[in-house]
A and B are shown apart, each in its own frame.
Chain A
Amino acid sequence: MNSQVTAEDQLARFEERVARGEKVEPGDWMPDEYRKSLIRMIGQHAHSEIVGQLPEGKWIPYAPGFRRKLTLIAKVQDEAGHGQLLYRAAETLGKSREEMLEELLAGKAKYANVFNYPTPSWADVGVIGWLVDMAAVVNQTMLQQTSFGPYARAMKRICYEESFHIKQGYDLVATLAKGTPEQKAMVQGAIDRWWYPTLMMSGPPDNLSAHTLQSLKWRIKTKTNEQVRQEYVDLIVPQIRALGLTIPDRDLKYDEKSEHWSYTQPDWEELKRVVNGDGPMNKERLAVRRKAHEDGRWVREALAAKRKEVAA
């Protein structure tokens, strides 16, 4: 490359490429801020997949019937796989998987806040698969358009698998919704618990700060948090109502003019509190993750011993 090229030229060329819809690849020149934003974003996404295994995973031993159990194991395995795909995508930007794993175990990393809420009933498994993964897919479909190539490619595969998660979750919820009064009450309770946490998933309302505008300009994201949340609400509200279930928001109504559902914003102070560690399940999630890491140590040591043997 011509050494005469100035930093401004490089930035201008980068922004032109991104504006044309070209993908940025790991070896390409990119602004430091672009690299840092993506490492943070993909890392948090990876941690979310890993921690996301836990709220549902605890129900595997109690799943009613063999098919539900197999399905749930498959779903939880997918989340582990997604975490690995994403750690790898982040790694191509220069931060090792090991560093990211250490940050998660040390409690220094953020992950999707929604997983800090408890899953006291079997219906939570269905509602997580359906609502949480629907909100995730809306966000991840947007991220398939992200300008960073490895992230966009990982999203394509992940969205494909998430569509299975949504369907199995819906099937579970629909079964309970058509069941006995106790089953129906159980699933309604789960919707009531998860409605606001799922609304928080797309993040607080955009303040249109310079940072957000730059993310949009560099096509790290292609939609604002509000756009993503509205898309989720418009998709899920008619589906929940079609099952005869209700949504815990008295002000929820369809606006003919905008052709969107208007809804009550979740409590953003609660989000702040829970993200910063004061949620119902934060400590438990990390404790379970740390134990799993310790329990797996002998496997990693055996693999490392094998590596030495191969090298010798």
Chain B
Amino acid sequence: MSDTQFDTYEVFHQKKKGDPHIHVGAVHAPDPQTALQYARDQFARRLACVSLWVVNSRDITATDYQDERFFSMVLDKSYRDPKDFDAPLKETNV
């Protein structure tokens, strides 16, 4: 019964033009074009949608939640944060 498995494709949904594509789930499909059809039926049959992306789940490279060092801040990086500056925004008209 291997005809029921297929690959999985992760689905990214864009609500309106200009919005980011957001991951909403995955579908099983034999190829990307069929994955788009299934993604439309599964994730766009009710809510507004102007664009869908599908990508084979195998092609996603992800970080590991357990590798906390990957995102660790060795240095204090608060200088990257606009909130860390007291610039009088109104007066400088920024």
A: which residues have CB within 8 A of B?
1, 25, 27-29, 77, 81, 84-85, 88, 91, 96-98, 101-102, 153-154, 157, 161, 297, 300-301, 303-304, 306-307, 310
Give a binary string over B1-17; 1 marks a CB under 8 Å from any A CB, 0 the rest: 11111101000000000
- In whole angstroms, what is the CA distance A25 to B45 when docked? 27
A228 vs B45: C-alpha distance when bound (angstroms): 30
Q: Is the CB of B3 within 8 A of A301?
A: yes
**Are A310 and B31 touching (Cβ within 8 A)?**
yes
B59 to chain A, nearest CB (A): 15
Please, how many angstroms separate the alpha-carbon atoms of A29 and B66 in the complex? 8
Determine if A88 and B46 form an interchain contact, defined as CB atoms under 8 angstroms apart.
no
A101:B4 contact, CB within 8 angstroms: yes
Q: How many A-B residue pairs have CB under 8 A?
A: 60
A309 to B, closest residue via Cβ: B31
- In the complex, A149→B26 CA distance in Å? 14
**CB neighbors of A among B9-30 (8 A):** 24-30
B binding-site residues for A, Cβ under 8 Å? 1-6, 8, 24-31, 34, 41-42, 45-46, 62, 64-67
Complex Cα distance, B4 from A101, in Å, reads: 8
For the complex, give the distance between the alpha carbons of A77 and B44 in Å. 13
Contact B1 A102 (CB under 8 A): yes
What are 30 sample pairs from A and B whose C-beta atoms fall under 8 A apart? A1-B66, A27-B64, A28-B65, A29-B66, A81-B41, A81-B42, A84-B42, A85-B42, A88-B25, A88-B27, A91-B8, A97-B4, A97-B28, A98-B4, A98-B5, A101-B1, A102-B1, A154-B25, A297-B3, A300-B4, A303-B3, A303-B29, A303-B30, A303-B34, A304-B3, A306-B34, A307-B6, A307-B30, A307-B31, A310-B30
